[in-house]
Amino acid sequence: MLFGRSLARGHFGEMYSDGEFLRVSGWMLNPRRQFTSIDAVLNGELVATQAPLTRDDVARALPWIPHAAQSGFRIELPQVRSGDRLEVLGRRGRRVVARLKSPLRLDLDRAVPTPPAELLRRVAGAPAPDNFKADGFKHFNDFVDALRRHRAVTSIRRMLDWGCGCGRLSVYFLLDGTVPEFFGCDIDPEAVAWCRENLRGGTFQPINPYPPTPYPDHFFDLVIGCSVFTHLRRETQNVWLSEMRRVIAPGGLLLASVHGRLAAYCTLPPGSGLMQRLRHRIRGPEVLASGFSDSLEGDHLDGIAPDGYYRGTFQTRAYTLREWSRYFEILEFVEGCLAYQDLVVMRRREDS
């Protein structure tokens, strides 16, 4: 089977409290397994079961997945508190074939400022504030959960959100306030300017598309990169891995996402030449030596990034472990962690 462990692509589109109920909506699917019911599990206790809702927008976006339309959910939760944990389970009969989880926050609409529509489009592909906030909160918690498995959050003195955009994750680290010194950087100067004006407590700075950054050697205990390597050519990935190694202190961590096999299946039509090559690398009996493709061009940063810089980049787990371990000690590879991206947890070696 291509996807085990209930891997799913999914997004939270809303997390809104009216004072009486918390309304949580979104969609999820396992590309290979249709589910017939959806469970809502709050703090480990089943609180609701429903049939999948129809999402024509998902069907239009993923027409090669026959059951894409039957992927929606909308859950009303009374008497919840910020910090409660919700898990949404897609079942086929009794079997769980998809899962999506996130802590809950009741004040997203009030606590999190809304960036301009154009900045939302550059980061998330669409100017949808509710989705930007709810999905960003989930991603923040995915990063923090992975961090906690390898290091106490309270031990992080200084961190960097590399490729912060308009603060999709930065805002939650700043609201949390556990890390004393928070920095963010991006090649989009307009997004950085918005962060400076709207996100208190952080130091935000524009950077060039290629290293070096202005930060000193060994400056950070933690660097995160959400959906950055996913858009870089192989050679550009390598120079940025080298730069991250320079600015991270010995023993410090780099947490970064990549497009892996789930992202490829959910993004590329099966008949495309690229998808056929990736499927061979991922599923075939012989894994190709490279396991990497950066052939798709993207337009999210047209006019900001150099021509040809912004890509749709896909790489196998084997490639990532082999090539990235030249720069960092790889501690963990979490498949399908961030909606549909994989999360790589790396540590700078003490003697490097």
Tens-place pLDDT, residues 9-38: 899 999 999 888 999 999 999 988 899 999
Residues 102 and 116 in one domain: no
Question: Is 294 part of a structural domain of the chain?
Answer: yes
Give me the number of domains the chain comprises.
2
Q: List pLDDT tens digits, range 51-83.
A: 999 999 999 989 989 999 999 999 999 889 999
Question: Is 282 part of a structural domain of the chain?
Answer: no
Sequence letter at residue 208: N
What percentage of residues in the chain have a pLDDT greater than 70? Answer: 92
Q: How is residue 116 written in tokens?
A: 């301009």
Residues 20 and 76 in one domain: yes
pLDDT averaged over every residue in the chain: 90
Residues 117 and 92 in one domain: no
Residues 197 and 141 in one domain: yes
Residue 335 has pLDDT above 80, yes or no: yes
Residues 161 and 52 in one domain: no
Residues 85 and 35 in one domain: yes
Residues 117 and 101 in one domain: no
Which carries the bigger pLDDT value, residue 101 or residue 290? Answer: 101
Q: List pLDDT tens digits, range 122-176.
A: 988 877 899 999 999 999 999 999 999 999 999 999 999 999 999 999 999 999 9
Please state, in angstroms and rounded to a whole number, the distance separating the CA atoms of residues 54 and 73: 9
pLDDT for the residue numbered 285: 27
Domain that holds residue 187: 112-262+290-347
Residues 100 and 134 in one domain: no
pLDDT for the residue numbered 6: 61
* Of residues 321, 350, 342, the one with CA closest to residue 143: 342
Question: Is 267 part of a structural domain of the chain?
Answer: no
CATH code, domain carrying 52: 2.60.40.10
pLDDT for the residue numbered 281: 45
One DSSP character per residue, 22-46 reads EEEEEEEEBTTB--SEEEEEETTEE
Residues 13 and 74 in one domain: yes
Question: Is 268 part of a structural domain of the chain?
Answer: no
Please state, in angstroms and rounded to a whole number, the distance separating the CA atoms of residues 98 and 71: 10
Residues 195 and 308 in one domain: yes
Q: List pLDDT tens digits, range 299-311.
A: 889 899 999 999 9
pTM passes above 0.85: yes
Please state, in angstroms and rounded to a whole number, the distance separating the CA atoms of residues 145 and 142: 5
**Which of the residue ranges 28-42, 202-216, 230-244, 272-286 would you say has the lowest mean pLDDT?**
272-286
Which value, to the nearest 10 degrees, does the dihedral of the CA atoms of residues 271, 274, 275, 277 take? 110
Residues 117 and 95 in one domain: no
Q: List pLDDT tens digits, range 81-122.
A: 999 999 999 999 999 999 999 999 999 999 999 999 999 999
What percentage of residues in the chain have a pLDDT greater than 90? Answer: 76
Question: Is 285 part of a structural domain of the chain?
Answer: no
CATH code, domain carrying 230: 3.40.50.150
Question: Is 3 part of a structural domain of the chain?
Answer: no
Residues 229 and 297 in one domain: yes
Q: Which residues pair with 14 in a beta bridge?
A: 25
Question: Is 1 part of a structural domain of the chain?
Answer: no
Q: List pLDDT tens digits, range 254-284.
A: 999 999 988 888 877 665 555 555 554 444 3
Sequence letter at residue 188: D
Residue 296 has pLDDT above 90, yes or no: no
